Structure 1
């Protein structure tokens, strides 16, 4: 049992106890001001990174976390959120399309836009975070053996 727990555990930089105290992303969409200061562990795909005077702001499309802390790739998302990280994170490394996970607290909601649509972004004040390695796509091709029909009788 310990072996299985070790295989699916969250990375140390994203660990939080008790996990039941973490605020779920859909709860933050209610814009309930009583949620400010609650701990969160969210993840997603980076849309943009913007360097501000004293922090870096990362805009993400929310994706649910797998048990190992990696964002689960899928075609649907309930929304977006912003992460504020103290200091400079290079936008070339924290670039659009990269997977990112954060552990922090819900700081506020910030008005903004997605395209021309107004949007209320939940803002996370990051305490710890992880930029996941780029996924490498592997192309798999099936090559049919040209002698398959010659060596073996035809299949029914």
Structure 2
């Protein structure tokens, strides 16, 4: 009997590790619309809740809000955008107040919780594009992923942190 309790406790603990942060939670989860549904019928989705994530393409500070242009990426179980080379599209998120463009810079990962406010015609480069507009109520800017430096020494793969002593670079 105690062994089964330990297994159950471990499962509950692990489930807690992959949950969405409180500021991005929404109940019921099943009410959140996917991008594919909204992009096909944006007018019928007005006012419906969404939680979308992606990589910031542009940040524009407006009079009383900040507009993020986001390249959509699928969400992992914990709300973090899943990095991949393919996207279903882009969306605009209007978030209240000033979000510093130096921090909310292109390439940063973000997740937005809000409701569909309609569509906006715009451009990506020189091409016309119809953006889905999200009126954001909450968001999370995710920490930047740091690259790990790996060097090749004498043609062999040997990460620096595993080297027993420093070696000169070729």
Name the structure with the higher helix share. 2
Q: How many pairs align? A: 145
The answer as to whether partners of 1:82 and 1:121 remain within 8 angstroms in 2 is yes
Q: 2:57 pairs with 24, 42, 47, which one?
A: 47
Cα RMSD between the aligned structures? 1.5
Change (3 A) 1:84 1:32: closer
Between 1 and 2, higher relative CO (CA 8 Å, sep ≥ 6) is seen in 1
Please give the residue correspondences for 1:21-60 in structure 2 after superposition, counting only pairs within 5 Å: 21-60=31-70
TM-score, normalized by length of structure 2? Answer: 0.82
Unmatched 5+ stretches in structure 2: 1-10, 152-156, 160-170
| Shift in Å, 1:139 | 2.5
Three-state SS of the structure 2 residue aligned to 1:45 is strand
**Residue deviations 1:58-111, cap 9 Å, x none?**
001000000011000000001000000111111011000000001110111000
**Match of residue 89 from structure 2:** 79
The answer as to whether partners of 1:100 and 1:129 remain within 8 angstroms in 2 is yes
Change (3 A) 1:51 1:98: same
Q: 2:116 pairs with 92, 106, 111, which one?
A: 106
Three-state SS of the structure 2 residue aligned to 1:29 is helix
1:132 aligned onto 2:142? yes
Runs of 4+ in 1 over 6 A off after TM superposition: none
Q: Residues of 2 paired with 1:95 and 1:32: CA distance?
A: 27
**Match of residue 133 from structure 2:** 123
